[in-house]
Amino acid sequence: MSVAHLYEDFAPQRMVGGVDAAVAEKVADAKLQSFEDGYSAGWEDALEAQQSSAAQLSAALIEAAKDAALTRDEVFENFLTVTRPLLEAIVTKVVPSAARDALAAHILEIVDAHLNTVADAPINIAVHPSLEHGIAKTLAGKLPDNARITSAPDLTESQVIVSLAQDEHQIDLDRIIAEIQEAVAAFFHSAQKET
């Protein structure tokens, strides 16, 4: 095994392609270093471009989210503006009329729900005098034989009292309608606070 590589070679340098070997090695090292510097610079440029692109994308997404939030708020505000008069009209005009039209059905529902428990006990349906004839006509043939409709001048046209044995059920349409109106008003009040 040779140990020549451990000692310095004082022999004249050989020429590689007409160029001194040491100079050729330095040129090759310089080329390699230039390549590595270029490669490294390319990576740095690519990373900077990626970071810049990511920052621009994030900024664009944040702006789009702000626009979407603004748009959602505008849509909700427009919805409230358009639906408020409609809902208020329904609650003040349609609901009272529908409730009065359904009054007889509501009375019948209460009586039917308690027929098993009251058996043959008398059933008294107290209504305002102006409603007595209309309710009697609407419920004719639908009530049990032990039920009778009586006039009660102290009740309003929106109140009915159904007495079944020892139970008493009061229907107060004005109170129910007022509760619906309050619920609609509370909805719009809370919705306006949010916008």
Band of pLDDT at residue 15, cut at 50, 70 and 90: low
Specify the DSSP element, H or E, that contains 171. strand 167-172
pTM of the model: 0.56
Q: What whole-number distance in Å separates Cα of residue 157 and Cα of residue 161?
A: 12
**Greatest CA span in the chain, whole angstroms?**
137
Instruction: For residue 144, give the nearest of 121, 177, 167, 174 by alpha carbon.
Output: 121
| Residue 66: both structure tokens together | 């702000």
Residue 149, pLDDT > 90, answer yes
pLDDT digits (tens, 9 = 90+) for 22-58: 777 787 888 888 888 888 888 888 888 888 888 888 8
Domain ranges for the chain, please list them.
Answer: 16-101, 102-179
Q: What whole-number distance in Å separates Cα of residue 142 and Cα of residue 109?
A: 11
User: Can you name the CATH fold of 102-179?
Assistant: hypothetical protein PF0899 fold (3.30.2320)
